[in-house]
Structure 1
């Protein structure tokens, strides 16, 4: 009897741990963003997206609101390049994807120091990441794009 009760408690505990999932956090986590840096990074991100997903044939559904300067610049540049972009209002839940639509989310942060930025773009289950460095009033890539499929 004690063995059965122990197994039930163990299974219930594991099920509880599996059911608890931290909410995904997307967007900009840069403490003091520089407008010109946000614009330059957004342009580079869209350039990479255009190399992987053809403009005018790809529709992206954002999975979070984009109230920050980076998100606004990225969405604007995507539309300029010919992408269809469905934006999400703050507090709204992302809609289900229709056939041919791609989900899109991003995280931009400064993991080490004020002069470095890390951008991670999530398209469906693929992740694209790159580090940028702010030097001499301009932002430049500090490494190659890393793509995880």
Structure 2
């Protein structure tokens, strides 16, 4: 009996650890729409749309990132998109360059060999994190623009959402 209880306990704990990652909760689609609109409007106040290019890095939920990208493009921003790379194992612990050594490639001296162009890094990197707390009826957006942080909290009630305060901006 004791072995059966231990087996069931281990099986139930394993099931909790193997939950699938969802693309976002559909319950918050209207909340995400309002938050994405507010975020795009605030970014337009801080960074001029026709003169700013963002390099947007998508994180979970990507459905919100797609919505935010659509709103930013509608405002007139140039936007390049990439997916966030999850670091795991030793990559999280060790820095990329442990010994501080840097190596440069040997320059091509032959005229027949074309030079490889590096990707254009003129845009400002933009990351986002959105949190929904269904128990408290609370949502929060945090946007990292380069080294600056932009954040705002929202209170949800009966399917509607309203800002809980002003935007915070830290450079």
Name the TM-score, length of structure 2 as normaliser.
Answer: 0.60
Kept in 1: contact 2:23–2:60 (CA 8 A): no
Deviations 1:94-129 (A, max 9, x none): x97623x11100000136835111110000000011
Q: Which range moved further: 80-89 or 116-125? A: 80-89
Aligned to 1:86: 80
**Among candidates 123, 137, 142, match of residue 120 of structure 1:** 142
Secondary structure at 2:51 match in 1: coil
How do residues 53-132 of structure 1 correspond to structure 2 at under 5 angstroms?
A: 53-65=47-59, 68-89=62-83, 91=85, 98-99=121-122, 101-110=123-132, 113-132=135-154
Distance across 2 between alignment mates of 1:121 and 1:82: 18
Deviations 1:38-60 (A, max 9, x none): 10100000000000001111100
Q: Which has the larger radius of gyration?
A: 2
Aligned to 1:140: 162
How many residues were matched structurally? Answer: 120
Distance across 1 between alignment mates of 2:136 and 2:26: 8
Q: Which runs of 5+ in 1 are unaligned?
A: 1-27
RMSD: 3.0
Distance across 2 between alignment mates of 1:97 and 1:105: 18
Question: What displacement does 1:34 show?
Answer: 1.3
Compare relative contact order (CA 8 Å, sep 6+) and give the higher one, 1 or 2: 1
User: Which runs of structure 1 show a deviation greater than 6 angstroms over 4 or more consecutive aligned residues?
Assistant: none
Kept in 2: contact 1:57–1:83 (CA 8 A): yes
Q: Which range moved further: 121-130 or 62-71? A: 62-71
Deviations 1:4-46 (A, max 9, x none): xxxxxxxxxxxxxxxxxxxxxxxx9976641111101000000
